[in-house]
Amino acid sequence: MNRSFDETTLSAFVDGQLDPDTMKEVVAFLEVDLNARQYVWEAFKAQAQLRAALNPVADETIPPRLLAALEQPAAAARPRRWMPAFVRAAAAVLLLTVGVGVGWVVQGIGNGKGAGGFESLPARYSQVVDAALENNLSGKPTDWKAPEGRMTVTVTPVRTFKDADGLFYREYTLAVSAGEQRSQLSGLAYRTGQGRWKTKAVFF
């Protein structure tokens, strides 16, 4: 009788997933069919390469942050990601401010005295973002603390790209904290030249 073995069956042979009878039939088939032998050989080889490439990961030292994550009580394992809406909204406005180039419009988040205490913020804030994107290696944060308020802005470049036209882009995170409240957003900016950067998009 004729017996057909498709790719899936031969693959299951490689994985040891066939029943004993089918396994014997495949072994007999491999003895007479060059293409099938080639298929199985290539499959074994690919699998061996894959294991050789990934198995060392299992021997690496476990990063402390992962161990720490498992040491926390279950109820407190996942910190609150988003703080009250006003902090988030303020952070969004911060980014959009950079994106559209308008003035500082956040009020009430810092010292609660309204915009009056932040008259000098637009230029200083832009400088912080520009300086971080212009000078920091990815992963290195720059902090800026409002002089009269309790708000701190931390800008951290994450990755650097170059598009087809040669423009430099950087992804960054922007964290805004006010007291114990904290929120973080991600932004994408491109270099406009002379050490200036313009935010193109924000992600929440």
Partner 1 sequence: MTETTRPREEALREQMVGLLPRIRRFARGLTKDPDRADDLVQEACERALGRLHQFAEDSRLDSWLYRIVYTRWIDRLRRSKTRSAHLALLNKQESEEPAGNGTAGLDKLLDVKDALAALPQEHRAAVLLVGVEGHSYAEAAAVMDVPVGTVASRVARGRSMLAEMLSPRSGGVQGKGYGVMEVKK
Residue 180 interacts with partner 1 (CB under 8 A): yes or no: no
Q: Judge whether 107 and 115 are in contact, CB under 8 Å.
A: yes
Q: Does 80 bind partner 1 (CB under 8 A)?
A: no
Identify which range of 65-73, 82-90, 104-112, 128-136 contacts partner 1 by CB under 8 A: 65-73
Single residue of 20, 21, 55, 85 touching partner 1 by CB under 8 A:
55
Q: Find the binder of partner 1 among 116, 137, 164, 180 (CB under 8 A).
A: 164
Q: How far apart are CA 23 and CA 100, in angstroms?
A: 66
27 binds partner 1 (CB under 8 A): no
Of 43 and 105, which has the nearer Cβ to partner 1?
43
Is residue 168 part of the contact set for partner 1 (CB under 8 A)? no
d(CA 117, CA 60): 51
Buried residues in 160-190 as b, exposed as e (16+ CB within 10 A): eeeeeeeebbbbbebbbbbeebbbbbebbbb
Please answer whether residues 152 and 143 qualify as being in contact, where contact means their C-beta atoms are separated by less than 8 angstroms.
Answer: yes
Burial of 78 (0-12, 13-18, 19+ CB in 10 A): exposed
81 token code pair: 């990601």
* Residue from 20, 73, 116, 193 binding partner 1 (CB under 8 A): 73
Site of interaction with partner 1 (CB under 8 A): 1-8, 10-12, 14-15, 17, 25, 28-29, 32-33, 35-36, 38-39, 42-43, 45-47, 49-55, 57-60, 62-63, 65-67, 69-75, 77-78, 159, 161-164, 169, 188, 200-201, 203
